[in-house]
Structure 1
Amino acid sequence: MTRALIVIDMQRGFDDLDFWGPTSNPECATNVTALIDAWTAQGEPIVVVRHDSRGEASPLHPDHPGNALIDAVAAVRPALFVSKNVNSAFYGDRDLHAWLGEQGIQELVICGIQTNMCVETTARMAGNLGYDVTVPLDATRTFDLSTDVAGVGIVTRTAAELMLTTALDLQAGGFARIATTAELVSG
Protein backbone atom coordinates (compact mmCIF):
# COMPACT_ATOMS: atom_id res chain seq x y z
CA MET A 1 0.00 0.00 0.00
CA THR A 2 1.38 3.39 -0.95
CA ARG A 3 1.05 6.15 1.60
CA ALA A 4 1.21 9.92 1.36
CA LEU A 5 2.07 12.64 3.83
CA ILE A 6 -0.45 15.51 3.75
CA VAL A 7 1.07 18.73 5.18
CA ILE A 8 -1.70 21.23 5.88
CA ASP A 9 -1.39 25.01 6.16
CA MET A 10 2.11 25.29 7.60
CA GLN A 11 2.09 29.01 6.91
CA ARG A 12 3.92 31.98 8.41
CA GLY A 13 0.65 33.76 9.18
CA PHE A 14 -0.03 31.32 12.01
CA ASP A 15 2.87 32.90 13.91
CA ASP A 16 0.76 36.07 14.29
CA LEU A 17 -0.42 35.40 17.85
CA ASP A 18 -1.98 38.87 18.07
CA PHE A 19 -4.42 37.64 15.42
CA TRP A 20 -4.86 33.98 16.48
CA GLY A 21 -4.30 34.10 20.25
CA PRO A 22 -2.52 31.60 22.49
CA THR A 23 -1.28 28.44 20.82
CA SER A 24 -0.18 24.97 21.74
CA ASN A 25 2.59 22.56 20.81
CA PRO A 26 5.63 24.69 19.95
CA GLU A 27 7.26 21.51 18.58
CA CYS A 28 4.81 21.24 15.68
CA ALA A 29 7.13 22.64 12.99
CA THR A 30 10.04 20.49 14.19
CA ASN A 31 7.86 17.37 14.04
CA VAL A 32 6.42 18.27 10.62
CA THR A 33 10.00 18.71 9.37
CA ALA A 34 10.94 15.27 10.75
CA LEU A 35 8.00 13.72 8.89
CA ILE A 36 8.97 15.53 5.67
CA ASP A 37 12.56 14.31 6.04
CA ALA A 38 11.40 10.71 6.61
CA TRP A 39 9.03 10.76 3.62
CA THR A 40 11.68 12.33 1.41
CA ALA A 41 14.29 9.75 2.45
CA GLN A 42 11.85 6.93 1.63
CA GLY A 43 10.80 8.47 -1.68
CA GLU A 44 7.17 8.60 -0.60
CA PRO A 45 4.78 11.29 -1.89
CA ILE A 46 4.21 14.51 0.01
CA VAL A 47 1.15 16.68 -0.58
CA VAL A 48 1.46 20.33 0.47
CA VAL A 49 -1.74 22.24 1.21
CA ARG A 50 -1.94 26.03 1.58
CA HIS A 51 -4.91 28.00 2.89
CA ASP A 52 -5.63 31.02 0.72
CA SER A 53 -8.06 32.93 2.92
CA ARG A 54 -10.78 35.01 1.30
CA GLY A 55 -10.81 37.33 4.34
CA GLU A 56 -8.69 40.37 3.52
CA ALA A 57 -7.82 40.90 7.19
CA SER A 58 -6.55 37.34 7.60
CA PRO A 59 -2.77 36.81 7.77
CA LEU A 60 -3.41 33.87 5.39
CA HIS A 61 -4.85 36.05 2.61
CA PRO A 62 -2.79 35.67 -0.61
CA ASP A 63 -1.88 39.39 -0.53
CA HIS A 64 -0.21 39.07 2.88
CA PRO A 65 3.28 37.71 3.64
CA GLY A 66 1.71 35.32 6.17
CA ASN A 67 0.26 33.33 3.27
CA ALA A 68 3.78 31.98 2.59
CA LEU A 69 4.68 28.49 3.72
CA ILE A 70 7.28 28.07 6.46
CA ASP A 71 10.77 27.40 5.10
CA ALA A 72 10.84 23.63 5.70
CA VAL A 73 7.60 23.17 3.78
CA ALA A 74 8.43 25.72 1.08
CA ALA A 75 11.57 23.70 0.33
CA VAL A 76 9.55 20.54 -0.42
CA ARG A 77 9.04 19.43 -4.01
CA PRO A 78 5.53 18.12 -3.46
CA ALA A 79 3.99 15.38 -5.51
CA LEU A 80 0.85 17.53 -5.35
CA PHE A 81 0.17 21.12 -4.26
CA VAL A 82 -3.37 22.02 -3.16
CA SER A 83 -4.64 25.56 -2.66
CA LYS A 84 -7.85 25.82 -0.62
CA ASN A 85 -10.04 28.43 1.06
CA VAL A 86 -12.14 26.11 3.26
CA ASN A 87 -11.25 23.67 6.05
CA SER A 88 -10.93 20.48 4.02
CA ALA A 89 -7.99 19.77 1.73
CA PHE A 90 -10.43 17.69 -0.31
CA TYR A 91 -12.06 20.94 -1.51
CA GLY A 92 -9.17 22.69 -3.16
CA ASP A 93 -7.49 23.41 -6.41
CA ARG A 94 -6.26 20.38 -7.38
CA ASP A 95 -8.60 17.60 -6.59
CA LEU A 96 -6.87 15.69 -3.79
CA HIS A 97 -9.24 12.70 -3.84
CA ALA A 98 -8.90 12.25 -7.62
CA TRP A 99 -5.10 12.51 -7.44
CA LEU A 100 -4.88 9.98 -4.60
CA GLY A 101 -7.03 7.59 -6.61
CA GLU A 102 -4.85 8.02 -9.71
CA GLN A 103 -1.78 7.23 -7.61
CA GLY A 104 -3.37 4.24 -5.86
CA ILE A 105 -2.75 5.80 -2.46
CA GLN A 106 -4.92 4.45 0.35
CA GLU A 107 -2.92 5.41 3.46
CA LEU A 108 -2.66 9.04 4.59
CA VAL A 109 -0.64 10.69 7.35
CA ILE A 110 -2.08 14.15 8.01
CA CYS A 111 -0.24 16.89 9.91
CA GLY A 112 -0.20 20.68 10.18
CA ILE A 113 -2.30 23.57 11.42
CA GLN A 114 -4.96 23.88 12.90
CA THR A 115 -5.50 20.60 14.73
CA ASN A 116 -9.22 21.08 15.32
CA MET A 117 -9.99 22.86 12.06
CA CYS A 118 -8.29 21.94 8.77
CA VAL A 119 -6.42 18.87 10.04
CA GLU A 120 -9.50 17.40 11.72
CA THR A 121 -11.84 18.23 8.83
CA THR A 122 -9.48 16.70 6.28
CA ALA A 123 -8.96 13.60 8.45
CA ARG A 124 -12.70 13.12 8.95
CA MET A 125 -13.37 13.39 5.22
CA ALA A 126 -10.48 11.06 4.43
CA GLY A 127 -11.86 8.51 6.88
CA ASN A 128 -15.32 8.80 5.35
CA LEU A 129 -13.83 8.34 1.88
CA GLY A 130 -12.27 5.05 3.00
CA TYR A 131 -8.63 6.04 3.47
CA ASP A 132 -6.51 4.56 6.26
CA VAL A 133 -5.71 7.76 8.17
CA THR A 134 -3.12 8.52 10.83
CA VAL A 135 -2.73 11.88 12.56
CA PRO A 136 0.54 12.47 14.45
CA LEU A 137 -0.94 14.79 17.07
CA ASP A 138 2.46 16.23 18.01
CA ALA A 139 2.87 17.41 14.39
CA THR A 140 -0.21 19.63 14.70
CA ARG A 141 -1.08 22.75 16.64
CA THR A 142 -4.01 25.05 17.23
CA PHE A 143 -5.15 28.12 19.18
CA ASP A 144 -7.44 28.88 22.09
CA LEU A 145 -11.09 29.40 21.14
CA SER A 146 -13.89 31.33 22.77
CA THR A 147 -17.35 32.12 21.43
CA ASP A 148 -20.91 32.74 22.49
CA VAL A 149 -22.89 29.55 21.90
CA ALA A 150 -26.69 29.94 21.70
CA GLY A 151 -28.40 28.58 24.80
CA VAL A 152 -25.08 27.98 26.57
CA GLY A 153 -23.27 31.30 26.81
CA ILE A 154 -19.56 31.94 26.39
CA VAL A 155 -17.61 28.73 25.83
CA THR A 156 -13.82 28.78 26.05
CA ARG A 157 -11.32 25.99 25.38
CA THR A 158 -7.55 26.11 25.46
CA ALA A 159 -5.50 24.95 22.51
CA ALA A 160 -4.33 21.92 24.51
CA GLU A 161 -7.93 20.97 25.34
CA LEU A 162 -8.91 21.33 21.68
CA MET A 163 -6.01 19.12 20.58
CA LEU A 164 -7.06 16.38 23.01
CA THR A 165 -10.70 16.65 21.97
CA THR A 166 -9.70 16.32 18.33
CA ALA A 167 -7.61 13.24 19.14
CA LEU A 168 -10.56 11.72 21.01
CA ASP A 169 -13.05 12.55 18.23
CA LEU A 170 -10.86 11.22 15.42
CA GLN A 171 -9.77 7.99 17.08
CA ALA A 172 -12.92 7.07 19.03
CA GLY A 173 -15.04 8.09 16.05
CA GLY A 174 -13.13 5.74 13.76
CA PHE A 175 -11.89 8.47 11.42
CA ALA A 176 -8.16 8.16 12.16
CA ARG A 177 -5.52 6.60 14.37
CA ILE A 178 -3.62 9.02 16.59
CA ALA A 179 0.16 8.52 16.67
CA THR A 180 3.34 10.37 17.52
CA THR A 181 5.93 11.62 15.05
CA ALA A 182 8.51 9.28 16.61
CA GLU A 183 6.30 6.26 15.91
CA LEU A 184 5.98 7.22 12.26
CA VAL A 185 9.60 8.15 11.52
CA SER A 186 11.07 5.14 13.34
CA GLY A 187 8.64 2.59 11.99
Structure 2
Amino acid sequence: MDEHREGLKTALVIINMQQGVMDYCVHPKKVVSRIQDLVSRARDTGTPIYWVQDEREFERHSTPWRLAAGLEPQDDEHRIFKSYRDAFTGTGLHASLIAEDVGRLVICGAQSDYCLRTAAGRAAAMGYDVTVVRDAHTTGAETFEGQSLTGDQIIAHTNAYFATLDYPNQDFSLMRTDEVAFRPVTVDD
Protein backbone atom coordinates (compact mmCIF):
# COMPACT_ATOMS: atom_id res chain seq x y z
CA MET A 1 0.00 0.00 0.00
CA ASP A 2 3.01 2.23 -0.50
CA GLU A 3 1.23 4.01 -3.34
CA HIS A 4 -1.11 5.69 -0.85
CA ARG A 5 -0.66 9.12 0.64
CA GLU A 6 2.26 9.28 3.04
CA GLY A 7 1.66 9.52 6.77
CA LEU A 8 -1.77 7.98 6.93
CA LYS A 9 -2.21 5.36 9.60
CA THR A 10 -4.06 2.24 8.44
CA ALA A 11 -6.75 0.25 10.24
CA LEU A 12 -8.23 -3.15 9.39
CA VAL A 13 -12.05 -3.11 9.53
CA ILE A 14 -13.85 -6.46 9.61
CA ILE A 15 -17.59 -6.29 8.90
CA ASN A 16 -20.28 -8.72 10.12
CA MET A 17 -18.26 -11.93 10.26
CA GLN A 18 -20.92 -13.42 12.52
CA GLN A 19 -22.18 -16.98 12.67
CA GLY A 20 -25.73 -15.99 11.75
CA VAL A 21 -24.50 -14.14 8.67
CA MET A 22 -21.94 -16.71 7.54
CA ASP A 23 -24.57 -19.46 7.50
CA TYR A 24 -25.90 -17.93 4.25
CA CYS A 25 -22.67 -16.83 2.59
CA VAL A 26 -20.61 -18.43 -0.16
CA HIS A 27 -17.05 -19.66 0.51
CA PRO A 28 -17.19 -19.09 4.29
CA LYS A 29 -14.09 -21.17 5.11
CA LYS A 30 -11.94 -19.44 2.48
CA VAL A 31 -13.05 -15.98 3.59
CA VAL A 32 -12.50 -16.76 7.29
CA SER A 33 -9.03 -18.10 6.48
CA ARG A 34 -8.13 -14.98 4.51
CA ILE A 35 -9.39 -12.71 7.26
CA GLN A 36 -7.39 -14.70 9.81
CA ASP A 37 -4.32 -13.99 7.67
CA LEU A 38 -5.11 -10.27 7.50
CA VAL A 39 -5.69 -10.13 11.26
CA SER A 40 -2.42 -11.93 11.97
CA ARG A 41 -0.44 -9.56 9.75
CA ALA A 42 -2.21 -6.50 11.17
CA ARG A 43 -1.41 -7.65 14.71
CA ASP A 44 2.22 -8.26 13.79
CA THR A 45 2.56 -4.61 12.71
CA GLY A 46 0.46 -3.02 15.46
CA THR A 47 -2.22 -1.98 12.98
CA PRO A 48 -5.49 -1.14 14.76
CA ILE A 49 -8.24 -3.72 14.18
CA TYR A 50 -11.97 -2.94 14.26
CA TRP A 51 -14.49 -5.78 14.60
CA VAL A 52 -17.96 -4.62 13.50
CA GLN A 53 -20.97 -6.68 14.54
CA ASP A 54 -24.64 -6.34 13.64
CA GLU A 55 -27.03 -6.07 16.57
CA ARG A 56 -30.15 -5.24 14.59
CA GLU A 57 -30.62 -8.80 13.40
CA PHE A 58 -28.96 -10.64 16.29
CA GLU A 59 -29.25 -10.35 20.04
CA ARG A 60 -25.93 -9.65 21.73
CA HIS A 61 -24.15 -12.82 22.92
CA SER A 62 -26.57 -15.13 21.08
CA THR A 63 -25.02 -17.86 18.90
CA PRO A 64 -25.83 -16.08 15.58
CA TRP A 65 -24.34 -12.83 16.99
CA ARG A 66 -20.97 -14.44 17.79
CA LEU A 67 -18.09 -14.20 15.35
CA ALA A 68 -17.40 -17.12 13.04
CA ALA A 69 -15.21 -19.88 14.44
CA GLY A 70 -11.54 -18.96 14.24
CA LEU A 71 -12.09 -15.21 14.52
CA GLU A 72 -11.36 -13.93 18.01
CA PRO A 73 -10.75 -10.28 18.88
CA GLN A 74 -8.04 -9.53 21.41
CA ASP A 75 -8.80 -7.31 24.39
CA ASP A 76 -6.97 -4.32 22.90
CA GLU A 77 -8.88 -4.44 19.61
CA HIS A 78 -11.89 -2.28 18.90
CA ARG A 79 -15.43 -3.68 19.02
CA ILE A 80 -18.12 -1.76 17.14
CA PHE A 81 -21.77 -2.75 17.53
CA LYS A 82 -24.16 -1.41 14.91
CA SER A 83 -27.88 -1.31 14.30
CA TYR A 84 -27.77 -0.19 10.65
CA ARG A 85 -26.02 -1.36 7.49
CA ASP A 86 -23.69 1.60 7.88
CA ALA A 87 -20.98 0.87 10.46
CA PHE A 88 -20.59 4.63 11.03
CA THR A 89 -24.23 5.40 11.91
CA GLY A 90 -25.00 5.38 15.62
CA THR A 91 -21.60 3.93 16.54
CA GLY A 92 -18.30 5.29 17.78
CA LEU A 93 -16.38 4.07 14.72
CA HIS A 94 -15.55 7.47 13.24
CA ALA A 95 -14.55 8.98 16.60
CA SER A 96 -12.34 6.00 17.35
CA LEU A 97 -10.65 6.20 13.95
CA ILE A 98 -9.97 9.91 14.53
CA ALA A 99 -8.58 9.18 18.00
CA GLU A 100 -6.25 6.57 16.46
CA ASP A 101 -5.25 9.05 13.70
CA VAL A 102 -6.39 6.63 10.99
CA GLY A 103 -6.76 7.87 7.43
CA ARG A 104 -6.76 4.59 5.49
CA LEU A 105 -9.10 1.61 5.93
CA VAL A 106 -8.60 -1.95 4.74
CA ILE A 107 -12.12 -3.40 4.67
CA CYS A 108 -13.22 -7.04 4.52
CA GLY A 109 -16.11 -9.12 5.86
CA ALA A 110 -19.60 -10.27 5.17
CA GLN A 111 -22.60 -9.10 3.23
CA SER A 112 -20.68 -7.64 0.32
CA ASP A 113 -23.76 -6.02 -1.17
CA TYR A 114 -25.11 -4.51 2.02
CA CYS A 115 -22.96 -3.80 5.05
CA LEU A 116 -19.51 -4.02 3.47
CA ARG A 117 -20.43 -1.88 0.48
CA THR A 118 -22.21 0.67 2.68
CA ALA A 119 -19.32 0.96 5.15
CA ALA A 120 -16.66 1.22 2.45
CA GLY A 121 -18.68 3.73 0.44
CA ARG A 122 -19.40 5.84 3.51
CA ALA A 123 -15.74 5.76 4.52
CA ALA A 124 -14.79 7.02 1.07
CA ALA A 125 -17.38 9.80 1.22
CA MET A 126 -16.02 10.81 4.63
CA GLY A 127 -12.51 11.25 3.22
CA TYR A 128 -10.78 7.99 4.12
CA ASP A 129 -8.56 6.15 1.68
CA VAL A 130 -10.14 2.71 1.23
CA THR A 131 -8.86 -0.70 0.22
CA VAL A 132 -11.51 -3.38 -0.26
CA VAL A 133 -10.02 -6.87 -0.02
CA ARG A 134 -11.54 -8.46 -3.12
CA ASP A 135 -11.20 -12.09 -1.98
CA ALA A 136 -11.98 -11.53 1.70
CA HIS A 137 -15.63 -10.56 1.55
CA THR A 138 -18.70 -12.71 1.02
CA THR A 139 -22.46 -12.74 0.80
CA GLY A 140 -25.32 -15.02 -0.14
CA ALA A 141 -27.69 -15.27 -3.09
CA GLU A 142 -30.39 -12.60 -3.39
CA THR A 143 -33.59 -12.14 -5.37
CA PHE A 144 -35.00 -8.66 -5.95
CA GLU A 145 -37.74 -7.59 -8.33
CA GLY A 146 -37.74 -11.05 -9.86
CA GLN A 147 -34.00 -11.06 -10.56
CA SER A 148 -31.84 -13.67 -8.83
CA LEU A 149 -28.11 -13.29 -8.30
CA THR A 150 -25.69 -15.81 -6.86
CA GLY A 151 -23.36 -14.83 -4.04
CA ASP A 152 -20.43 -15.00 -6.46
CA GLN A 153 -22.17 -12.62 -8.88
CA ILE A 154 -22.83 -10.14 -6.08
CA ILE A 155 -19.20 -10.33 -4.92
CA ALA A 156 -18.00 -9.72 -8.49
CA HIS A 157 -20.34 -6.74 -8.86
CA THR A 158 -19.20 -5.28 -5.53
CA ASN A 159 -15.59 -5.64 -6.64
CA ALA A 160 -16.40 -3.95 -9.96
CA TYR A 161 -17.98 -1.04 -8.07
CA PHE A 162 -14.91 -0.48 -5.90
CA ALA A 163 -12.48 -0.99 -8.78
CA THR A 164 -13.71 2.28 -10.29
CA LEU A 165 -14.49 4.32 -7.16
CA ASP A 166 -13.07 7.81 -7.42
CA TYR A 167 -13.04 10.86 -5.16
CA PRO A 168 -10.67 13.83 -5.44
CA ASN A 169 -7.37 13.55 -3.56
CA GLN A 170 -8.09 10.09 -2.18
CA ASP A 171 -6.72 6.66 -2.93
CA PHE A 172 -8.90 3.61 -3.49
CA SER A 173 -7.83 0.11 -4.26
CA LEU A 174 -9.14 -3.37 -4.71
CA MET A 175 -6.58 -5.94 -3.57
CA ARG A 176 -6.33 -9.65 -2.95
CA THR A 177 -5.46 -10.73 0.58
CA ASP A 178 -1.89 -11.55 -0.42
CA GLU A 179 -1.42 -8.05 -1.91
CA VAL A 180 -2.35 -6.19 1.28
CA ALA A 181 0.65 -4.97 3.25
CA PHE A 182 0.47 -3.34 6.67
CA ARG A 183 3.21 -0.90 7.60
CA PRO A 184 4.57 -1.32 11.14
CA VAL A 185 3.11 1.31 13.45
CA THR A 186 5.81 3.40 15.10
CA VAL A 187 5.72 5.62 18.17
CA ASP A 188 5.63 8.65 15.86
CA ASP A 189 2.46 7.33 14.19
Do the structures match in fold with TM over 0.5? Answer: yes
Partner of 2:3: none
CA deviation vs aligned residue, 1:3-42 (integer Å, no higher than 9, x gap): 00001111111243xxx3x624641000000000000011
CA contact 1:35–1:181 (8 Å) conserved in 2 = yes
Change (3 A) 1:78 1:29: farther
Instruction: Determine which of 37, 46, 57 is the counterpart of 1:34.
Output: 37
- Counterpart pick for 1:51 among 51, 54, 70: 54
> For residues 40-91 of structure 1, what are the alpha-carbon distances to aligned partners after superposition, in whole Å with 9 as ceiling and x for unaligned?
011110011111124xxxxx33363111112433243353211001111111
Mapped partners of 2:81, 2:28: distance in 1: 25
* The one of 12, 25, 28 aligned to 2:19: 12
Match of 1:85 among 55, 68, 83: 83
Contact 1:5–1:110 (CA under 8 A) maintained in structure 2: yes
- Structure 1 residue 147, shift from structure 2 partner: 2.1
Aligned counterpart, 2:175: 179
Indicate the SS of the match to 2:116. helix
Q: TM-score, normalised by structure 1?
A: 0.83
Q: Is 1:70 aligned to 2:68, yes or no?
A: yes
Q: Distance in 1 between matches of 2:181 and 2:22?
A: 26
Give me the whole-angstrom Cα distance separating, in 2, the residues matched to 1:185 and 1:102: 22
Q: Does 1:139 align with 2:136?
A: yes
Distance verdict in 2 for CA 1:96–1:182, change over 3 Å: same
**Which residue in 2 is equivalent to 1:165?**
157
* Paired residues of 1:25 and 1:140 also in contact (CA < 8 A): no
More helix by share: 1
Q: 1:53 to 1:82 in 2, by over 3 A?
A: same
Partners of 1:53 and 1:62 within 8 A in 2: no
Contact 1:24 1:160 in 2 (8 A): no
Unpaired runs of 5+ residues, structure 2, are 1-7, 184-189
Q: Distance in 1 between matches of 2:181 and 2:96?
A: 24
Q: How many residues align?
A: 172
Indicate the RMSD between aligned Cα atoms, in angstroms: 2.0
Q: Is the 8 A contact 1:111 1:139 kept in 2?
A: yes
Aligned counterparts of 2:76 and 2:55: Cα–Cα separation in 1: 18
